[in-house]
Structure 1
Amino acid sequence: MLASASTLPTLETPRLRLRWMTEADIPALFELFSQSEVTRYWSWSAYTELAQAERLLGNIHKHFAERSLFQWGFARREDDRIIGTCTLAELSGEHRRASLGYALNRAHWGHGYGREAVGRVVEFGFTSLELHRLEADVDPRNTSSVKVLEDLGFQREGYQRQRYSHNGEIQDAVLYGLLRPEWRSGCV
């Protein structure tokens, strides 16, 4: 899994560039994860200080060095400003699987950017990393995220009751999975 690379490869889509994030991207990461609408169904609360985004970037780089997490920032080609992230976490070479996660700045919802970025990372996972399985869990109330997964061919595999406690609220999760033989490369 990219054994000798010092950074993630840049992935391209018709409108987006998924790339390695640097210190220059910290303000955009803070903007993204300080939006309560974005973190509504996330595993942590909205950021309140820039230092949280700095720590996030440090953790992204640390976990990439360990090859346990690949997290791209994605930007529109026209301005290269990060508007979201897409992540392969819990990478297992032995079992050839990873968990998928993604977030998109509220200002860019409704334009298909999330689906475009996630589709490209799915393709990378199945082709470049030769993964056999990708999985994601999503709050069932997050209908936009559910639609992204289902449009890409993910199948609902289970319902996890009261899986998360977030901002004083207990939240359910739906588990989705996609196997490489089921994946359609044209879905990107």
Structure 2
Amino acid sequence: MSTEFPVISTERLILREATDGDAADMLQYLTDIRVVKHMGLAPFESTADAMDEIAWYRSIHAEGTGIRWGITLKDSGKMIGSCGFLNREARHFRAEIGYELSHDYWGRGLAGEALRAVVHYGFNRLQLERIEALIEPENGPSIKLVERNGFLREGLLRHYEYTQGKFDDLYMYSLLKGDCT
């Protein structure tokens, strides 16, 4: 992956590299249990938690195992979420997609706008063939989001992750490059 961080512009959003200056915005939405409930994370408690998350975004980009964009509003520059790839396997042309959005902006189509832009980037710039989404069965809004955007449910991965003191089942969804033509 290139070391220069790509910027993606959509109708209402700028997807860009998260910076230390975004920590306060990030902390605001990642302290909300509604946002982190299905992320396998405890709600953030401090700016240090947000700085650690931003450092993780930097590390996956530097290692070539992923890329995570800060979702910012075009009109204000406020960071309201993130979207991107993790667990990228370049030799297999696949990656997992992940996202979260501040509860204040749910129901406005912004998550779908960001998701579509990132998927397009993955297929066209990263040469991905397959994009996966792993989603807890109880996360109805996320399931609706990926299904509305063409992802197909492949099955249930039982006790696939251990987070927050429990084993989580996850649905495996996928979107293939050929599904988008």
Aligned equivalent of 1:51: 48
Cα shift at 1:180 = 0.5
Are 1:66 and 2:63 counterparts? yes
Match status 1:171 vs 2:147: no
Q: Residues 40 and 164 of structure 2 are in contact (CA less than 8 Å); yes or no, is this contact kept in structure 1?
A: no
**Alignment partners' CA distance in 2, 1:158 and 1:70:** 26
Unaligned 5+ segments in structure 2 are none
Residue 139 of structure 1, aligned match among 128, 136, 146: 136
Matching of residues 94-113 of structure 1 within 5 Å: 94-113=91-110
Deviation of 1:170 after TM superposition, in Å, equals 4.2
Identify the match of residue 85 of structure 1 among 79, 82, 85.
82
Distance 1:168 1:37 in 2: 18
Deviation at residue 163 of structure 1 after TM alignment: 3.0
23, 27, 33: which one aligns with 1:26: 23
Judge conservation of contact 1:45–1:166 (CA < 8 Å) in 2.
no
> Which secondary structure state, in structure 1, belongs to the residue aligned with residue 91 of structure 2?
coil
Partner amino acid, structure 2, of 1:41 = H
Q: For residue 174 of structure 2, what is the amino acid of its counterpart?
A: G
State yes or no: 1:121 paired with 2:115. no
Read off the aligned partner of 1:43 and give its amino acid letter.
Answer: G
| TM-score (norm. length: structure 2) | 0.94
Partner of 1:94, secondary structure, is helix
Equivalent pairs, count: 181
Unpaired runs of 5+ in structure 1? none
Do 1:68 and 1:90's aligned partners in 2 also have CA atoms closer than 8 Å?
yes
In 2: Cα distance, 1:105 partner to 1:111 partner: 11
Give the letter aligned to residue 143 of structure 2. Answer: V
User: Between the two proteins, what is the percent identity of the paired residues?
Assistant: 30
Separation in 1 of the partners of 2:179 and 2:48?
Answer: 41
Structure 2 CA distance for aligned equivalents of residues 9 and 166 of structure 1? 31
Write the distance in 2 (CA, Å) between the matches of 1:33 and 1:158.
29
